[in-house]
């Protein structure tokens, strides 16, 4: 468990979030009184696995960058 002041929490908020996501308990205090705890929401702990979109994403067609027929005239 780590206890930090409000000033320190404001200064290092991104770092504290990363530490909380890694499982560390972060308590923010006002003076000597603890007032809040930084904890990750359950959905934020889920790790993305490679291949999650397999079968959903299609390969881009070879002519993807070709001009559209509607604009062909204006590009000459």
Q: What domains are defined for the chain? A: 1-42 (3.40.1620)
Collapsing DSSP to helix, strand or coil, 69 comes out as helix
Range list of β-strands (E), the chain = 2-5, 26-30, 33-38
Is residue 48's pLDDT more than 80? no
Mean pLDDT (the chain) is 87
Sequence-distant (6+) residues with CB within 8 A of 34 are 3, 27, 28
Predicted local confidence at residue 40, as pLDDT: 87
Model confidence at 44, pLDDT cuts 50, 70, 90, reads low
């Amino acid at each position: 468990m780590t206890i930090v002041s409000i000033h320190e929490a404001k200064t290092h908020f991104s770092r504290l979030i990363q530490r909380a996501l890694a499982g560390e308990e972060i308590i923010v205090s006002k003076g000597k009184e603890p007032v809040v705890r930084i904890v990750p929401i359950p959905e934020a702990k889920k790790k993305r696995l490679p291949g999650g979109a397999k079968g959903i994403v299609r390969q881009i067609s070879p002519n993807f960058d070709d001009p559209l027929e509607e604009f062909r005239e204006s590009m000459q």
